[in-house]
Structures are given as C-alpha cells and as structure tokens.
Amino acid sequence: MQTRWPLDVACLTLLLVSSVVLNVVQLRHATRLSTQVSILVRSLTFGRELPPAPGDSVPDLTAEDEHGQPIRILVKNTPLPTVLYFFSSTCGWCERNLGNFRALTTAGAGSYRFIAVSLGPEDLKAYAARSGLRCLFVRRPNRESRLAYGMATTPTTILVDTTGVVEGVWRGAYAGDTLRDIERVFRVQLPGIGGLPAGQSANR
C-alpha cells in the first residue's frame, strides 16, 4: 500500500487536470457556438444581416489588407478597445461623414484602435491617402465576418471592448441622436453633418 499510494495520487491528479482542461475546451466551443447561433437567429428573424447588439461577444474579423493579403483583426485580449468603421466610397453618407470619423480618430488616438473596413471597390491605398484618416484600412471581409458584424448598412460604427464584447453600435452617419451619443461615449466634439432633412436616416 505504501508503494502504490504516490502512484494513486499521481493518477488522480492527472485525471483531475485532464477533466479541467476538457471543461475549458468545451466551454470555449460552447461560447463560440452560442455567438454563432445568436448571429444566425438575428439574421433569420429580420431577413438581413444585422450588426451585433451591445453585450454580444464578437469573433475576430478576417479580411484583406491594402495589398490583398489575408489579415486577421483580433478583438479579444487587446491593449485598447477597438472601433470598427464599415464604409464604402460609393456610399454618399460615408463621404459626408468622413469629417466626423476623421475627427474621431484624431481625438481618440492612443485611447482606441480604429479599423476602417471597406465594403466597396475602392483602391485602399489611394483612399487612405485622400481621406486623412488615422487608422488601419482593410477590405473584403470574409463571409463569417460579414455575418457576425452585420455589414448591411454603411456607415456603421461598432465599439468593442478589450475582451471582445460590444459596447456600442451606431448605424448611419453621425447626425442627430447618433452624433450626440457618440460624442458622449467617446467624450469628443465632432463637426456633425449639415443639411440633413428632418426625419431622414443618415445611412445608405
């Protein structure tokens, strides 16, 4: 018995560690599956791609960089919160909102990480040079990313905290209540958009 005791303890310890590791792996898969189911339910319910809601956990974003190379934008365990800005150069409201987003990236530099996600055909290098935006540009997000982030409306701004949880979602250009809410959350003052007709939505 004295000879087997250490062996029995070692076996029990190994079984316990294996059980803990298995539970962690299952929890990660369950969390990912829950996120995917939530995305699918929203899509089926409303019949279109919709952005995530505050409190939702979102996956990393996979797209292409300005050279056409695959790039993965990590949104979990990041040093700064991530601001994802979905736009297209062929979207009139995106062009009218450019001054607002430029001011936001300037004021938020060092406090947030800004990613501009192009959904249009533009040359990213040329657009980046013209826009004056202080952020990383990516384009052509893959299908999983498009579904997860609901890229049906441009411009759309999504704020993700350092753990990958959505803190805020703003659909459309920064005008009216959207402008005031973004200024409150980011503690900035933006130029806004002039000439917006009453009752008109500031998005594509």
Asked if residue 126 and residue 73 are part of one domain, the reply reads: yes
Would you say residue 54 lies in a domain? no
State whether 7 and 39 are in the same domain.
Answer: yes
* Judgement on whether residues 139 and 89 belong to the same structural domain of the protein: yes
pLDDT of residue 152: 81
Q: Count of alpha carbons within 13 Å of 76, Cβ hemisphere only?
A: 9
CB 35 within 8 A of CB 27: no
- 197 located within any domain: no
One digit per residue, the tens of pLDDT, for the chain of length 204 reads 445 556 555 556 666 666 655 554 454 544 445 544 544 444 444 444 678 999 999 999 999 998 899 999 999 999 999 999 999 988 999 999 999 999 999 999 999 999 999 998 778 888 989 998 989 999 999 999 999 998 888 999 999 999 999 999 999 999 999 999 999 999 999 999 865 544 445 555
Domain that holds residue 121: 61-186
- Regarding pTM above 0.85, the answer is no
Number of domains in the chain: 2
Tell me, letter by letter, the H, E, C secondary structure of 42-78.
HHHHHCCCCCCCCCCECCCEEEECCCCCEEEECCECC
Same domain, 142 and 108: yes
Q: Are 136 and 115 in contact (CB under 8 A)?
A: yes
Please check whether residue 202 lies inside any domain of the structure.
no
130 shares a domain with 98: yes
- Residue 141 in any domain: the answer is yes
Specify if 116 maps to a domain. yes
Rounded (5°) CA angle 63-103-147? 25
Report the candidate in 64, 203, 62 with the shortest Cα–Cα distance to residue 124.
64
Q: Is residue 11 part of a domain?
A: yes
Note whether 77 and 15 are same-domain residues.
no
Rg (CA), the chain: 22
Does 203 map to a domain? no
In a domain, 199, yes or no: no
For residues 77 and 144, membership in a common domain is answered with: yes
Can you say whether the dihedral through the CA atoms of 96, 58, 110, 125 is positive or negative? negative
